[in-house]
Chain A
Amino acid sequence: MSALIRLTEVGKRYAGAAALQPTNLSIERGKTTVLIGPSGCGKSTLLRLIIRLIQPDSGSIQFDGEAITAENIDTLRRRIGYVIQEGGLFPHLTARANVVLMARHVGKSHEEVHTRLLEMCELARFSNNLLPRYPAELSGGQRQRVSLMRALMLSPELLLLDEPLGALDPLVRASLQKDLKEIFARLQQTVLFVTHDLAEAIYFGDEIVLMNEGRIVQKGSVTELREKPADPFVSEFINAQRGLASL
């Protein structure tokens, strides 16, 4: 099976400093790929380059064999779901309006939108009764569920998650992790998941991509990372997190 996303020598600099050094990466279909690394390592930059919130200085990004350009990005964005840490829900719209916004924009029929909305509620375990509420009237976990529903509404081929659970308390976080994993499996969803938490990476990741200082240090399963570290940073990162977890 071919890669859904392929980055070829993609680089990005901010004010002279490299946020992402020229990088190659393939995201396989149907798998969850986790980008992990310390703050500022370039993992969010990589995600934002794919959805073209920022433009690469060099290299090219292909989506399903097609190079992503300024011209086709608006169409491609409808095939990509994007969830950020704070949810990114629009405060002036109800949960329902947030979820159906894009479906309505592309001109889907009322019935179609409604059926899909109920499917999404069921999938994300979000109560119908909460749909008329505004984001400010929902809990953090509920907001992330709505954000996920919004991202999945148009059945995107790719789901981008930028630390989606980072702002939640541990109990809510655990239950959402479990639900998310089930959803990905059920939909056979291609997911690119950014986190700085190793346990979360191991839990979700079919493939783990460890980044540091704007470049990919190692890519592989957690076992490979643990047993065949590409350089000392890999062991250091894994041991530091494991040490904390064993407390």
Chain B
Amino acid sequence: MNRVRKARKEGTAESGNQESRKEDSSIPFVLVSWLADFLLIFSCLPVFLIHSASAAPVVIGSKKFTESYVLGEIAKRTLTDAGIPAEHRQGMGGTIILWQALRGEQIDLYAEYTGTIVQEILKTDRPLSLGEIRDSLAKFGVGMTEPLGFNNTYALVMRRSEAQQLGVRTISDLQKYPELKIGLTHEFLDRQDGWQPLRERYALPQQNVIGINHALGYSALANGSIDIKDAYSTDAKIEQNDLTVLNDDLQYFPKYEAVFLFRLSTPTDATAALRKLEATLDEKRMVRLNAEAEQTKNYTRAADLYFERGAGSRNSVGESFPHKLARWTLRHLQLAGFSLLLSVVFGIPLGIVASRGGPIGQTILGFASIVQTIPSLALLALLVPIPFFGISVRTAIAALFLYGLLPIVRNTASGLQDIPRSLRESAIALGLSPITRLWEIYLPMASRSILSGIKTSAVINIGTATLAALIGAGGLGEPILSGLDLNDRVTILQGAIPAALLALLVQWFFDLLDRVLIPKGLRV
């Protein structure tokens, strides 16, 4: 309290004439801040509806690969052990998504690699010292721990047998074999420190280069569909799949030392706890934790290994499958249900306007059709950079809402247009007011078509909601995505089967609803 008052005093003393300027702009300022408050409240609404409100925990993010999951779990455990409530949002996406989530205050911290920070976040070609990186990040309000102890650099890997047969030991050796097929993760293909400069530096001649999911890439490598892929040097799969890491003889790959990035506004007790992790994890240990995580699919247990607890000693930390399934399903229904509600609330009035035709009607139908043609992944990616949305449940709901719009708008419009002219005219000739005509005559007559539009939207939403997991919004997409990441069919099915059943159930529910909502006279 004292400090605040003192600071305010200093402010007044130092900048007397700034004060008057401030007053001039006070009305717009109040307006803006009021508007901001309003937006904030509004924007939190969906989240409130979904989260039961509680004391804000420290939110940890992680990227979509095993090591990031494990580091996230380790951070969570560290904070929890220090008595700080923490929450881990697993596998939110790639570097840019995590960085934006950090800056947008959707997460408080996540594990990152120094090379990635320099190349992808600070976007510089010059090698920077840790001090320089720290200073640059501070400008964004972001802090960085000391390295955790291991260097997880990028590497190119090959099957050991093929490498021996061809005599390939270094990346330079690849120049002699232009026919080799290369499969790279999409991130590596696009990164500034990724494939393009690597190919230039080593003058690699290979033409057959495809983008492939990281985990699927290992299967492709094993069955010979590709010969070379990118990997992380601490990847557990390298040992498991009997692969060999090609020597980076031209020292192309920068150092990728693992650190934690955190917002400077994070409470100091949390960052202090986090700093205890510095220089405690060497490469061998990290490989072991990664291997444990991939074998057991239990990141919490792998993280516990770091704290030197026996792997199988306690199973209390792991969430039981029925509990997980209930959580996924509930979230899935919330995502699909809330977005469907929005689609109905906006879609029916838009459909009514569209049914009148004309330029406005054409525009509405055109817009709704265009939204439908945007691939769902692209739509999510388009919404994420918008400040209001970001990496959140809001974004998922907004995307699902937009997808659900077209069937409802189109069916409402066509249902209304299909009403015979003679009946429209009878309603007019009776002298009913326009509102009554719409509400008591036209909409009930179009109810079958409108309901079938809503049904289509609901089924589409149940299916598309699986993608919400891509941006950390949860739902049944969560097991599907982690299953894809880990190339684990059982995990995929844990999400896919309930999602399919849910779609059937929704279809059945709406068939039942038809009987209640469509007037009996239309069913005779």
Contact = CB atoms under 8 A, between A and B. Distances in A.
Contacts of B422: 84, 86, 88
Contact of B522 (A82, A92, A101, A102): A92
Contacts of A80: 429
Given A53-B425, A82-B426, A105-B436, A92 B431 contact: no
Contacts of B519: 92-93
Given A135-B521, A136-B524, A90 B431 contact: no
Nearest to B430: A102
A166 interface: no
A180 interface: no
- 7 A-B pairs with the lowest CB-CB distances in the bound complex, closest first: A88-B426, A77-B431, A92-B519, A134-B521, A82-B429, A136-B524, A78-B431
B444 interface: yes
A177 interface: no
Contacts of A53: 425, 428-429
A51 B524 CA distance: 32
A90 B423 CA distance: 7
A154 B491 CA distance: 69
Contacts of A88: 422-423, 425-426, 429
A77 B430 contact: yes
Interface string A127-153: 000000011110000000000001000
B440 interface: yes
Nearest to B447: A92
A105 B431 CA distance: 9
Nearest to A78: B431
Interface in B435-481: 436, 440-441, 444-445, 447
A82 B424 CA distance: 13
A73 B34 CA distance: 47
Given A86-B422, A136-B524, A92 B430 contact: no
A77 B520 CA distance: 29
B429 A90 contact: no
A55 to B, nearest CB: 12
Interface in A64-105: 74-78, 80, 82, 84, 86, 88-94, 101-102, 105
A38 B313 CA distance: 96
A90 B520 contact: no
Contacts of A135: 521
Contact of A134 (B425, B444, B520): B520
Interface size class of B (residues with CB under 8 A): 20 to 34
Given A82-B426, A105-B433, A150-B430, 18 more contacts: A74-B433, A75-B431, A88-B422, A89-B426, A90-B427, A90-B441, A90-B445, A91-B445, A91-B522, A92-B445, A92-B520, A92-B521, A93-B521, A101-B432, A105-B431, A105-B432, A135-B521, A136-B521
Interface of A: 48, 51, 53, 74-78, 80, 82, 84, 86, 88-94, 101-102, 105, 134-137, 150
25 contacts: A51-B429, A53-B425, A74-B433, A77-B429, A77-B430, A77-B431, A80-B429, A82-B426, A84-B425, A86-B422, A88-B423, A90-B426, A90-B427, A90-B441, A90-B445, A91-B521, A92-B444, A92-B521, A94-B521, A102-B430, A105-B431, A134-B524, A136-B521, A136-B524, A137-B524
B415 to A, nearest CB: 12
A68 B422 CA distance: 22
A48 B424 CA distance: 13
A86 B421 CA distance: 11
B445 to A, nearest CB: 6
B421 to A, nearest CB: 9
Contacts of A89: 426
A92 B427 CA distance: 13
B68 to A, nearest CB: 57
Contacts of B432: 101-102, 105
A101 B436 CA distance: 10
A77 B447 CA distance: 27
A53 B524 CA distance: 30
Contacts of A77: 428-431
Contacts of B444: 92
Interface string B117-132: 0000000000000000
Best-surrounded residue of A53, A74, A91 (most CB of chain B within 10 A):
A91
Contacts of B426: 82, 84, 88-90
A17 B517 CA distance: 45
A150 B436 CA distance: 17
Contact of B430 (A76, A82, A91, A134): A82
